[in-house]
Amino acid sequence: MYNATPLYINGIGLCNPLGGNADEVAANLFAGTQSGMLLREDLLHEGKVYVGQVTIDLPELSSFSKHFQSRNNQLLLQAYKQIEPLVNELKLQFSSTRFGIILGTSTSGIAQGEEAMGYRLDAESFPDSYDYRIQELSNPAEFLSEYAELDGYVSVISTACSSSAKSFITAAEMISAGLIDVAIVGGVDSLCGMTVNGFSALESTSDGICNPSSVNRDGINIGEAAALAVLSRKKSAIKFCSGGESSDAHHMSAPHPEGAGAKVAMQHALTQAQLNPEDISYINLHGTATPKNDEMEAIAVASVFPNDTYVSSTKGCVGHTLGAAGATEIAFCYLALQHQKMPPHIWDGEKDSAMPELNWVKAESQIEGGLKYCLSNSFAFGGNNVSLIIGLEHE
């Protein structure tokens, strides 16, 4: 088992609609801020839609090759700069060939591809600034490898909403196998018309700001984000305990109605971590606010965990960040352990009688004895399910 050797999260870097660094994100996350959920008129072919948007000024990339000059990589660099000092410190201990970069994404630089295609429709040629490689899924990891001057293993995972959650498991397996010593893991996705219109075509987007687990829920908001973590054997305050995976392959876009794969992923994570359900202090739900996802996840969680385990969905604050969602939400768990606070569940409070009762985090919720272990769920199209567990290191 890959968790035979203790692994630790040595640091994180974040950029999402809640802020441009971990401290800003933490303050707004625990306050339940939704100021980053904005109404856009230029993403849907017809109509308006709420999205989770990063509004800070992002790093300039004009000095890089044109195939690296994407908003996706700007978000990624904003997150990386927060862990750069840590990576440089670890470079003094390990060869650059012993670092791995394992990221998740689903769009890469497709937004720049959309802009280039719009230009081509008018000018009958692509702009000189456009390079097709900007859209390749490998692009973010290649960019980060070049920027950080690392020569080790580089890969990108693209399994939709579970992409960056899977990056943690892959990295843990590689470190435990002795293939690398340090991994930069996480994910990045930026807003683009393709995903917003795609989910709209599936009738999965909300008319307003998403309302997870409410009887009035009507769909998701797409968001953008970058989240990175440094994973290694170097002991630190927060331990990466385990990751559970499953693939129920119930349907191309709909989850198993009873959450069969979700249950397996959560149970597998508990087994790998050698924990009992009652050991988990808080669960960050996948919580997309689509009718089918929220119902099946409530069924799965209620069947695996005692009903006093605190839960919340944070997608009402950042949107569904797709390939970045898994890393963003395990980072929220990291912040919860670090600050000993839980992200509140932001919704209208109207319960769905068809769903099992869960213990929703409120602004005043506290755990006697403090938070010790957190679990985060990421469930993707095709029944690709991942559950990650992290916890405080106990002396």
Cα–Cα separations (whole angstroms), residue 333 to 12, 15, 163, 292:
11, 15, 17, 24
Paired residues of 391 in beta bridges: 239, 373
Yes or no: say if 266 and 278 are a contact pair by the CB < 8 Å rule: no
SS3 10: strand
Map tokens 């109207």 to a residue. 350
Which residues have a Cβ under 8 Å from the Cβ of 321 and sit 6 or more positions away? 16, 52, 187, 189, 222, 223, 224, 225, 328
- Per-residue exposure over 67-101, b if at least 16 CB sit within 10 Å of its own CB, e if not: bbbbbbbbbbbbbbbbbbebbeebbeeeeeebbbb
Distance CA 10, CA 153 (A): 19
Yes or no: say if 208 and 60 are a contact pair by the CB < 8 Å rule: no
**Catalytic position from the list 67, 256, 268, 286:** 286
Residue 394 catalytic?
Answer: no
Alpha-helix residue ranges (DSSP H) falling in the chain: 22-31, 71-91, 110-123, 139-148, 163-176, 193-201, 260-273, 291-304, 315-318, 325-339
Distance CA 259, CA 381 (A): 13
At 13, list the tokens: 């870097």
**Catalytic position from the list 268, 320, 333, 345:** 320
Residue 345 catalytic?
Answer: no
Phi-psi region of 47 (alpha: psi -120 to 50; beta: other; left: phi over 0): left
Residue 183: closest CA among 99, 241, 105, 243: 99
**Catalytic position from the list 15, 161, 210, 241:** 161
Yes or no: say if 26 and 337 are a contact pair by the CB < 8 Å rule: no
Residue 251 catalytic?
Answer: no
At 119, list the tokens: 């230009």
Distance CA 54, CA 190 (A): 9
At 60, list the tokens: 């300039």
Residues with a catalytic annotation lie at 161, 286, 320
